Amino acid sequence: MQNLLETEKNIPKLLDKYIHEEEERLVQLKKLSEEYSKKNEKSLENGMNDIVNPINAFLLIKRKIFDWKEIESKMNANKAGNLVSSITDDNYGVRYPTADDLSGAAIGLLRLQDTYRLDTKDLADGKIYTDQGNYTFSAKDCFEIARAAYNEHDFYHTVMWMEEAKRRLEDEGENPTADVEDILEYLAFALYKQNNLKHALKLTEELFKMNPSHPRAKGNVKWYEDLLEQEGIRRSEMRKNLPPVQNRRPDSVLGNTERTMYEALCRNEVPVSQKDISRLYCYYKRDRPFLIYAPIKVEIKRFNPLAVLFKDVISDDEVATIQELAKPKLARATVHDSATGKLVTATYRISKSAWLKAWEHEVVERVNKRIDLMTNLEMETAEELQIANYGIGGHYDPHFDHAKKEESKSFESLGTGNRIATVLFYMSQPSHGGGTVFTEAKSTILPTKNDALFWYNLFKQGDGNPDTRHAACPVLVGIKWVSNKWIHEKGNEFRRPCGLKSSDYERFVGDLGIGEEPRNAPNISPNLGKNVWETI
Ligand SMILES: O=C(O)CCC(=O)C(=O)O
Ligand SMILES: [Fe+2]
């Protein structure tokens, strides 16, 4: 979207240049036309003479061919094609948006509407919670959103947005932006699909009255009447006692229970008990020689499964460098197909991502080393740093980072075992939405720039921990940048020794089961003057 905004800026300049060139071309064309008509007059005067004399005849033919050619080529020299392609082609490294992009944006908006419970009218008025944006939707905009939903067979949103389009159209009075007949036809069909037959009939009759020669209205009235009849409704009753419109949200592929929890967590509406909160604490991680004088700040966000936030572990400059390195490589994110082990795109993960290798830049190498000091885990077998960028509506539905038992193929090619733990650096702070939520552990972590979230995906005995199921909430306002580091089992045999039971778990990062919990450890003169990125 940022790139698109840049190219938008160039359009007026290109248009001005085009208009200037066209004006010049038309002046030349006018001159040619004048010359041509002068010659023409003369040859008409000469009349038959020009044709019977072989020299004159030759010159006439020549004139017809060459003079006209010049005019023809000037007429065809319109550079509109060049201008259009310089805007729509991949000139600035930006793909020009297509109709698919528009429907993608519409579907993204609907996802936001559901997750954050936004009212259709408010959204169309440009209002998000208390933020009043600068733009509002016309009836046509609402119609296009509804149509995108319709094309996905999502009749729930079709009804909402066609109704809004209809309302807006009434307000537009003399200057309608959409066609009322189209709205009525789509709306009637969507209402029928949502089991509101009487309403569908009513609207279709309205359409028929408006335009008796509408190609489908009459037939559809009969069709809806027949359907109502099949439901045992008498003709005299079909236009009476209209019940309120019912518009049930379709079932989710996630299952409605998980989706409800996911969305409530995204809205940060799921309370954590006071008892649980009171156990949480922060500490300085000083369990490595390097960290004695430059400890890492750790905030325990949750026990069981343990989740901690490493505070201030990446600088603004490092974030900027990583973003610049990633930008040219960003591509639509893929996921592992559990059946084939191959990478595929999926609607449940909408973001752009790129991988950065340690040798590409010393910042990447430094960050990798820092993760070792943060987690006490082996970086040699970890995946490269993955950078992800979520635009508006970008999200990742609930999932596990580790492969489940039946997905044995997922990391086979890496040969480093399963994903033992995840580090998630927050490289921006969206103003609304974009949280990381755990649907089983029922916790919400809102991104805080320069911090990194960490959790173990596997129990110490090696099985995946089902309570690590998590998701990236759709971004409502702002941009979300994160970096992922997935750490694997191999090489961690001594860094994270096996436990026997799933109840064997860490109380803090790098807990080997021996020694004091840092809760009770004295905080002796840590070098508070410096942040970790200044030392490592
Ligand atoms: O961006 C987030 O908050 C979570 C991302 C995530 O879970 C993933 O990329 O696997
Ligand atoms: Fe994840």
Q: Are 120 and 113 in contact (CB under 8 A)?
A: yes
Is residue 397 in contact with ligand 1, taking CB distance under 6 Å? no
Does residue 301 share a domain with residue 428?
A: yes
pLDDT of residue 298: 95
In a domain, 456, yes or no: yes
Does residue 83 share a domain with residue 14?
A: yes
Is residue 455 in contact with ligand 1, taking CB distance under 6 Å? no
User: What 3-state DSSP class applies to 492?
Assistant: coil
| End residue of a domain, out of 237, 272, 295 | 237
The ipTM, to two decimals, is 0.99
Does residue 313 share a domain with residue 264?
A: yes
| End residue of a domain, out of 33, 54, 88 | 88
Q: How far, in Å, from the CA of 219 to the mean position of ligand 2?
A: 51
Nearest residue by C-alpha to atom 4 in ligand 1: 472
Q: How far, in Å, from the CA of 355 to the mean position of ligand 1?
A: 14
Q: Is the pTM of this model over 0.90?
A: no
**How confident is the prediction along the chain (536 residues), in pLDDT tens digits per residue?**
777 777 788 888 888 989 999 999 999 999 988 988 887 777 777 766 666 677 777 777 877 778 788 888 888 888 888 778 777 776 556 677 888 888 888 999 999 999 999 999 999 999 998 888 889 999 999 999 999 999 999 999 999 999 999 999 999 999 999 999 999 999 999 999 999 999 999 999 999 999 999 999 999 999 999 999 999 999 999 999 999 999 999 999 999 999 999 999 999 999 999 999 999 999 999 999 988 888 899 999 999 999 999 999 999 999 999 999 999 999 888 887 777 778 888 888 888 999 999 999 999 999 999 999 999 999 999 999 999 999 888 999 999 999 998 887 778 888 899 999 999 999 999 989 999 999 999 999 999 999 999 999 999 999 999 999 999 999 999 899 999 999 999 999 999 999 877 778 899 999 998 888 898 776 665 556 677 778 77
Q: Where are the beta strands (DSSP E) in 58-199?
A: 127-128, 131-132
Does residue 211 share a domain with residue 66?
A: no
Does residue 148 share a domain with residue 35?
A: no
Is residue 163 in contact with ligand 1, taking CB distance under 6 Å? no
Does residue 301 share a domain with residue 230?
A: no
pLDDT of residue 90: 62
Does residue 61 share a domain with residue 123?
A: no
In a domain, 251, yes or no: no
Cα separation, 475 vs 271, whole angstroms: 21
Ligand nearest to the CA of 265: 1
In a domain, 378, yes or no: yes
- Find out whether the peptide bond into 430 is cis, omega within 30 degrees of 0: no
Is residue 484 in contact with ligand 1, taking CB distance under 6 Å? yes
Does residue 282 share a domain with residue 222?
A: no
Residue type at position 179 = D
In a domain, 379, yes or no: yes
User: Total structural domains in the chain?
Assistant: 3
**How many CB atoms are located within 10 Å of the residue 477 CB?**
16
Residue 435 maps to which CATH number?
2.60.120.620
Is residue 482 in contact with ligand 1, taking CB distance under 6 Å? yes
DSSP state of 314: S
pLDDT of residue 142: 96
Is residue 436 in contact with ligand 1, taking CB distance under 6 Å? yes
Is residue 349 in contact with ligand 1, taking CB distance under 6 Å? no
Vertex 210: Cα angle to 207 and 216 (nearest 5)? 45
In a domain, 252, yes or no: no
Is residue 426 in contact with ligand 1, taking CB distance under 6 Å? no
Ligand nearest to the CA of 453: 1
Question: Which residues span the domain enclosing 14?
Answer: 2-88
Is residue 308 in contact with ligand 1, taking CB distance under 6 Å? no
In a domain, 339, yes or no: yes
In a domain, 273, yes or no: yes
Ligand nearest to the CA of 425: 1
| End residue of a domain, out of 179, 205, 237 | 237
Query: Relative to the CA of 390, which ligand 1 atom is closest?
Result: 1
Query: Relative to the CA of 447, which ligand 1 atom is closest?
Result: 3
**Which residues sit with Cβ closer than 5 angstroms to ligand 2, an ion?**
401
In a domain, 245, yes or no: no
Does residue 187 share a domain with residue 131?
A: yes
